[in-house]
Structure 1
Amino acid sequence: MSVLKYLSGYSADLQSQVQRLIDTNQLGLWLEQRYPPQPRHLIQTDAALYDYTQRLKQRFMRSSDPLSKVYFDTRMHVIDNALGQHQFVSRVQGSKLKRKNEIKVSALFKRLPEPLLRMVVVHELAHLREKEHNRAFYQLCQHMEPDYHQLELDLRLFLTAGGL
């Protein structure tokens, strides 16, 4: 039995189901059925990612602090235990304190299905309001993406299958 490190927080029943799919070489096929191979999504540049993120923010979090930068990070990888990151940068300019909010997303999402990219962007946007991974944070994620928890599981399955 292989170690399912990306699924450690899930139930033993779910882990055993995934393990059966791995043992029978079916996990990749299952993911392919769920996310059929298709042309890559159109969000391939930093500018496209910024626009995509801004549209989601405008729709669901209009009153939140503005984003100064959103970009794909080619150095970010699952090895770092992060596929997306938010940063809050504060600088003193004269007598004023300037805050900047930045989001970076692993460049690996350029080749994954768009719903998985949306899940990561939603996750990072939610950190604009909720800094911790608490109940309010996950409620906000689900408000922006009703399938948030399923997409998070699917992303973990992609990681388990070696899809990244």
Structure 2
Amino acid sequence: INQLREKVGVMYGNPETTTGGKALKFYASVRLDIRKSEAIKEGTEIIGNRTKIKVVKNKVAPPFRSCVVDLLYGEGISREGELLDIAVEQDIVQKAGAWYSYKGERIGQGRDNARRFFKEHPEEYDEVERKIRESFLAGKVEAPVDVEPADEEEDDDEEFDLDM
């Protein structure tokens, strides 16, 4: 974790830089740019932040990917928020305006209320998670090839000579 500093006199390009010189940027295997985008509120109390994470450098996986996650204070990344985003993307949960619906039943007005619904109803959370996993695996996992079982008599009579 490192802070950003402003380069003096930069007219073109990004004026932000990390401290520590060029060696730190070179030797790091993974570098992430993490920025707060908006506050998540419960009433008037701020309970977390919507956070954008961008991969700046990655030596072990594809770089330059980004995601937006809910970072809740005292909990970490909200699994319910991630589930809701993926379920809407996969059309498992329907979104019409600000309302979210699951199985034709409205589960919440606004993203925070729909996220709270999944937190308060773990059985629906598990069901939606199972459907998401099935949708990701559909077509990606090959069906097992039918293999005829070997004759039992042949297996019992076989002996192996391992003289080397």
TM-score, length of structure 1 as denominator length? 0.23
Q: Identify the structure with the greater strand proportion.
A: 2
Ranked by relative contact order (alpha carbons within 8 Å, sequence separation 6 or more), the top structure is 1
TM-score, length-scaled by structure 2: 0.23
